[in-house]
Amino acid sequence: MSTARAGIEKDPYLAAFARLRKESPAWKGSWTRPLREAAITRFAEIGFPTLQEEEWRKTSVAPILRVPFAAQPAYSANGFTAKALERYTFEPWECTHLVFINGHFAPGLSRLRPLPEGVIVEPLAQALEKRRDEIEPHLARHADDRHHAFAALNTAFMQDGVYVRIADGASIEEPLHLLFISTSRGEPVVSYPRNLIVAGKGSRLSIVESYVGPHHDLYFTDALTEIVAGEDAAVDHYRLQRESEKAFHVAVLQADLGRYARLGSWNISLGGGLVRTDVNALFGAEGGEVRLDGLYITGGSQHVDNHTLIDHASPGCTSHELYKGVLDDRSRGVFDGRIIVRKDAQKTDAHQTNKNLLVSEDALVDSTPRLQILADDVKCTHGATIGQIDEDAMFYLRTRAISEAAARNLLIQAFVSEVLHGMRIEPIRAGLECLLFTRLRKGHGAGVEA
């Protein structure tokens, strides 16, 4: 890809920004304006990544750039009803659901429940001006948009999402569910969901982000979430990517952890045509604990790229990472797991595992563990496997009266159960298990969600 061409690809985005700069009422006079300006300038400088860039070696974003996406300027339900949401809300799961359609908050479709004291949950667009004092120190201060074009675009164009703040010592037991729905209705739409979660000292919270869209819809989601976990805070974060099989989905999760803070992250990718997620955790102080679990189940011609980065910038922190992939048909998976142990991060304990199951001859996966260890008193392990369904296990199950198809499905389920069983929200765990089971039973192999 030549620089000249890359320049052309940026143009529609730069033009869209120029238009909004003139016309958007929400931008006018907002303190976020300089943030947006700085971000679009960075984007103009770096442009879209090419395959020559180390971080994008395995994923070409060219298909995204060929489609003339446009953002929807204001909220519209686009024909969505509460009934249509049921397949995405893990019924009868009782929790707060905040629904967004094409990037805009959908008050009529959201279900808000009473929140405990010290907990603020608000659509970000509303909170931005109202709570400037508490948001400004964090928004776009944690995620790195200097090297990531899509992160820069998200900051430049951010529409809505959620702002969560848990006061010191406060907690919310019920999970929060953010449901981002995209639907293009013939006009390829792009949305820029943006979330900021600030968990105070000793607080507890679990949050679920779902990204969904109707079948065959062509759209693009460029999402970014920043989590700031204060001292001794415990945050569980689930991202469930169930986009349309034609959709593009690029997302960044950045979590910065304070002293003894704990983060659990489950990154589940089931849908999408071209998917790239970056899950990054930074230990900003000693004693933190991170658990990064991931699962990507692909079929058809899906391409799913998972990048993770755990930055052990402080001593005495622990990270456990487990990513598993099941790849069917002609799909392609990428796992790139980076762990940096900085010079002063003594007593680091870091473990990374990536296991892949190829269930078709044409599926492909790239697994790259990248460990940079600059401290000497550390415990770091990593392992990656790529395998096929175990023929001995298949034979064993079949001699136990289990049919070939059922045995194959059982082994796939068993393979993914290690990740699913770790999930701490029962309706999500059971819902995903059920989803997967139905899909396997329909004979879609591990393919795109049906």
* Residues engaged in binding other proteins (CB under 8 A): 390-393, 395-404, 406-407, 410-411, 413-415, 417-418
Which residues, other chains included, contact 211 with Cβ-Cβ below 8 Å and sequence gap of 6+?
Answer: 180, 182, 193, 221, 223, 239, 240, 241, 242, 243, 249, 251
Which residues, other chains included, contact 376 with Cβ-Cβ below 8 Å and sequence gap of 6+?
Answer: 346
Contact of 70 with 149, CB cutoff 8 Å: no
With DSSP H G I counted as helix, E B as strand and the rest as coil, what are the percentages for the chain, rounded to 5? 25, 35, 40
CA atoms within 13 A on the CB side of 444: 18
Please count the other Cβ atoms lying within 10 Å of the Cβ belonging to residue 316.
Answer: 17
Burial (CB count within 10 angstroms: exposed 0-12, middle 13-18, buried 19+), residue 108: exposed
**C-beta of 390: minimal distance to other proteins in Å?**
8
Nearer to other proteins, 317 or 435 (CB): 435
CA distance 309 to 281: 6
Structure tokens at 165: 């703040």
**C-beta of 381: minimal distance to other proteins in Å?**
19
Which is it for strands 162-166 and 194-199: parallel, antiparallel or unpaired? parallel
**C-beta of 415: minimal distance to other proteins in Å?**
6
Nearer to other proteins, 67 or 402 (CB): 402
Nearer to other proteins, 339 or 446 (CB): 446
Backbone angles phi, psi at 322, to 5 degrees: -140, 110
**C-beta of 436: minimal distance to other proteins in Å?**
13
**C-beta of 395: minimal distance to other proteins in Å?**
6
3-class secondary-structure state, position 187: coil
Structure tokens at 308: 């993770």
**C-beta of 440: minimal distance to other proteins in Å?**
14
Structure tokens at 8: 């052309």
Nearer to other proteins, 20 or 384 (CB): 384
Structure tokens at 261: 């803070």
Nearer to other proteins, 262 or 408 (CB): 408
Nearer to other proteins, 237 or 355 (CB): 355
Nearer to other proteins, 361 or 377 (CB): 361
CA distance 397 to 187: 49
Structure tokens at 272: 């999408």
**C-beta of 391: minimal distance to other proteins in Å?**
8
**C-beta of 392: minimal distance to other proteins in Å?**
5
Nearer to other proteins, 31 or 395 (CB): 395
**C-beta of 364: minimal distance to other proteins in Å?**
24
Q: How far is CA 55 from CA 52, 74, 305, 308, 339, in A?
A: 9, 34, 10, 11, 14
Contact of 296 with 266, CB cutoff 8 Å: no
**C-beta of 439: minimal distance to other proteins in Å?**
17
Nearer to other proteins, 221 or 409 (CB): 409
How much is the CA Rg of the chain, to the nearest whole Å?
Answer: 21
Element (H, E) at 275: strand 274-283
Nearer to other proteins, 185 or 398 (CB): 398
